[in-house]
Structure 1
Amino acid sequence: MPNTVERKKIALCGIILGLYIKKKKQARVHRRVWCKDWLRKRGELGSHATIYRELHDKPEDGFIQYMRMDVNSFHTLLGKVEPYITKQDTHLRQSICAEARLEATLRFLASGCSYTALQYSTRISKQSLSLIIPETCKAIYTALRDDYLKTPTTPEEWMTVAHGFQRRWNFPNCLGAIDGKHVSIRAPRDSGSYFYNYKGNHSIVLLAICDANCEFIYADIGTNGRVSDGGVWDKCSVSSLIQNNTVGLPEDAILGSSSLPFPYVFVADDAFPLQRHIMKPFSHRSQDTRERIFSYRLSRARRTVENAFGILANRFRVFHSPIDLPPSKIEYIVLACTSLHNFLIRDHVRHYTPEGSLDVEDLSVGQIIPGTWRQTPELPGTQRVIYNDMADGKSVREQFMDYFNGEGAVSWQHLYIGEEG
C-alpha cells in the first residue's frame, strides 16, 4: 500500500486534473447556429440587405464608382460568368447566388479591401469570401479570355494589330507594345527573398503586350519579382514562339519606296533586349537628332502599354497594396483584371476610360498631356535593366531610324524633341 506521502501526491494530482477538466469545459464554445445573426440576415432580407442593391436601383448615386462598371455592363458580365459560379441549394441551407458572388468579387478588385472589411458590406463571411473571390476571378478569366484576351496566332490577326499602330501612332510594322508590371504581394511563408524585388518589396511580375487601343493581347503572370522584365520575357511563351518562328508573324514588308524589307517588331523600353523583332530606344546619353526622333516615335507607340497598366491599376485598386494571398490565387486575380480591362475598354469605354483618362498629344505645341491615371501614384514600379544591343536588332533599328527621318517622317516630330522642323 502507498505510504502517506504517496497518497498525498495522488490526491494532489487528482485535484489538479479535476481543475484542468473543469477549466476546459468552461472554455469550450458550443456552436448553436451556422453563422452569426448579422450574416444570416443576408438570406432573410435578400439581396436588398447590401449597399449594392441600393446603388443598383439608383445607379446615379455611385454604382460605377462602387463596381467600376455601369449596371448594363455588370449584367452582361453576370450572364457570361453565371454558369461557372452558380451553386446548388441544399436541404441544410441556401447557396450564395451568382449575383452576390460577382458583386463581392468586383468590389474586392475595385477597392483592394480585406476579406474582413468586405464581409460587412456583402454580409458574406470572410471564410466564404476566401473561397468565392478566387473562384469567381478564375471564372471571369475563363469566360472572357477567348473573346477579350486572345493572342493573335495568324499573320492576318497580327496584321490587324499592325494596322492599328500605323493608323493611330504612325509606327508601321508594329505588332504590340511590351512592358512588365510588378504586382505587390505578401511574401509566402518560408519564401525568403525569392519574391523580393529591387523596389524593396515582394512581387510577382505581369508581363503584357498591348495593341494600339491599350488592350492587352497577351499576359504572362507568376514569375517571381527578383527576375527583371527582360528575364521574364526570355521565359514567356510568346518569346519562345518568336524564337522558333511559330507564332505566325507576317513576312517582312517593304515600307514606301525603301529597297530593304522591314521586319514586324514589338516596341519596348530599356529593360528588354534589342533583337530583330524587339525595338527599344537609343541610350539617353548623347543622342543626336536622328536618334532622338526614332526614340520619340518609338515611345509614342509604346505609351499604349503604359496607359493600359495605369488605367488597370487606377480602376482596380487591388493593385495598390500587397495582396495577402498565395501566388497561385493572385495569378487568377490579375488575369481577371486584365480580362475585365479589355471587356470594359472595348464594349463600355465611355464609363471605363472617359475623356482625359489616357495620355494625349497636343500636336500644335508638341506637348504630351498626361492622362488622369497618372495623378495617382502606381504601386509598385517596374524594374529597368539595360541590356547590351544585339547586332541584328541594331541594324533593324537603323532601318527604322532612317525611315522616320525620311519618307516616314511626321510633321510634328521635331516639336517633341525640342527642335524646329
Structure 2
Amino acid sequence: MMDDYTLPFWIYLVVLSVFVGGAMKKILASHLTTAPPLVAWLGLACCLYSAVRTRTSPATLPVRGKAVFVTGCDSGFGKATAKQLDAMGFEVFATVLDLSADGARDLQRTCSTHLTLLQVDITQPQQVQQALLDTKAKLGPRGLWGLVNNAGVCVNFGDAELSLMSNYRGCMEVNFFGTLSITKSFLPLLRQARGRIVTISSPAGDQPFPCLAAYGASKAALNLFTDTLRHELEPWGVHVSTILPSSYKTGQASNHTYWEQQHKQLLQSLAPALLEDYGEDYMTETKELFQSHARQANPDLSPVIHTIVQALLSPQPQARYFAGPGIGLMYFIHRYFPFSLSNRFLQKLFMKKKLMPRALRKQSGFDLNLGLHNNNNNTDNAEEEKLKQL
C-alpha cells in the first residue's frame, strides 16, 4: 500500500517532466539562444519541487531523549545549529576551538543546561578521543542519535598554481582528515542508536569553482567518503546525509583583515618568477572579487539550519540536501548541460575576472604588434607588385 505522500510525489514528477521537456525543446529549437527563458523555466520547476517535497514530507521523529554532537560551534552554521537543537529539546554536545572566546560564551549564556561545550580541535586525535570519553560519560548506556560534521575551513584563495602546498594540506587536514577522525571515533555510538550523520559540505566539492582548488579538493574527498559511508552503514540502520549550502556569511567570510592577511602572505610566499608571470594586480583583483562575493553572501542561515534539523528528524532523510536559493538549478546545469556551457555558467556566477595573468597580457600585446607588422609588410609587398606590373 502506498504512503499518503507517494501519489503527490508522482504527480510532481509528471509536472516536472512537462517543464523539463518544454525547456529541452526550447534548447534544441533555438540553439541555446534563449538562456533567460530557460533559466526561468528551470527555476519554476525547482520551486515546484521544493514546494511539493515540503508538503508531502511525513511527520518528523520525536526529539525527546535524543543527543546530537555538533562540531565547529564557534560561529556560523555550527553555533546556530547548536542553539536551535538546544531550543528544540535535544541534548547537545557542541565543540569549539576556544572555551573563552565570544562564540563559546554566547552559547553558555543563551542555551540551557542540556548543552555541553567541549573544546576540540578536530585535527588533534587526543582532543577527539577526550571528547568521545566526555560524551560517553554524559550519555551513559545510551547511544548518540546524531553527528553534525560542520567544522571546516577555507584556507587562502587563488589559482591552483598560486595556492601554496600548505593551503592544500590545511584544507585537507580540517575538512577531510578532521571530519574523518570525528566520524570514525563516534561511529560505535551512532550505530548503537541507529542514528544519523549529517555532513556540511560544499558545491565546490562537486563543481570546478575558479580559484577554490584547495578547498574544493578537500570537499570532494569528503563527499566521496560520505557517499561511501552511506552505503556501508545502511545495514546498521544509520542514515548519512550531505548538505550543500549556497553562499552564506559564515566564519571568516566577512572578515576584511583576514583576507588581507591571507593575500599578503601569498604575495610574500610566491616564487619571484611565478609572481612575475601572474602579476600582483591579477592577484589583487582575485582578492577583491572574493571580498565582493563575501559581502553579497546571505546573512540568514535559517535555510541551512532547517535542513540540518530535517536530516536529523525525517523518518527517511535524503542522501543530499540543497540548502539555499539556486543550488538545485546549479546542479541541474552541471549535470545535464554540455561542459562548455556549465563551465561558462560557473565562471560568470562566481568569479567575473577582467584581468588576464601578466605574461598572457604581454604575449597578447606581442601577438598584436606582430600582426600589425605583418599586415604592413603585406601591404608594402602588394604595392611593390603593382609597381612592377606598371
Q: TM-score, normalised by structure 2?
A: 0.28
Bigger relative contact order (CA 8 A; separation at least 6): 1
More helix by share: 2
Structure ID, larger Rg: 1
Q: TM-score, normalised by structure 1?
A: 0.26
